[in-house]
Amino acid sequence: MATPMAGIFSKILCPIDLEHSLKALDFAIRLARQNGARLYVLYVAAIPIGAAELTSTADKEPFWEVTAKKRLELMAEEKLVGKIDDYELITRSGEPAAGILMAQAEIGADLIVMATHGRTGISHFFLGSVAERVVRESPCPVLTLRPE
C-alpha cells in the first residue's frame, strides 16, 4: 500500500450515533487515509432524565459517558482497527449538535463528516436536525451522507 501524501484535510471529525452513521464513518476512514489525516470519532451521549440525582460528585465521569465510551471502543475494534492507524475516540455528554461544534473547536478539525437522518415534515420540525445546525454553525466544511 502506498504511503498517503499530505492532503487538503489534516483533522477529520466524524460524529457517530453508533447505529445509522456507520456509512459516514466508512467514508471518513477513506478520506482520512487518502489525505494522511487524523480521524477523530465522536459520540455525544444523551444525559438521562434525572441523571443529576444519580451522579455522585466523586465520579470522575458520569455513568452514561462510561457506558458510551465502552460502546465506542467496541465499535472501534470492529470498524477502525486495521483500517486506519491515526485515530482518536472522543465521548461527550449533552445535546449532539452543541457537542459536535465544541469538539470541532477543541481539536481544530478542518472537515466534519456526518450522517443525516433525512427527517422531513413534522418530525423534522419537532426533532430538528443535528446535521442542519452543524452545517449552519460550523466554521469548517461539513460533508453529510444519508445513511441508506
CATH number at residue 119: 3.40.50.620
Q: What is the pTM of this model?
A: 0.83
Domain ranges, residue 69? 11-145
**Cα separation, 47 vs 67, whole angstroms:** 12
**Cα separation, 50 vs 78, whole angstroms:** 33
Look at residue 1 and tell me if it is in a domain: no
Kind of pairing between the strands at 142-145 and 11-15? unpaired
Q: How far is CA 107 from the centre of its chain?
A: 12
Look at residue 56 and tell me if it is in a domain: yes
For residue range 48-78, list pLDDT tens digits in order: 776 655 555 555 777 778 888 899 999 899 9
* Residue 46: all three cell numbers together: 444523551
The mean predicted confidence, pLDDT, of the chain is 84
Q: Please tell me the total count of domains within the chain.
A: 1
* Stretch among 19-23, 33-37, 117-121 having the lowest mean pLDDT: 117-121
Element (H, E) at 40: strand 38-45
Say yes or no to pLDDT of 100 above 90. yes
Look at residue 3 and tell me if it is in a domain: no
Which pLDDT belongs to residue 48? 77
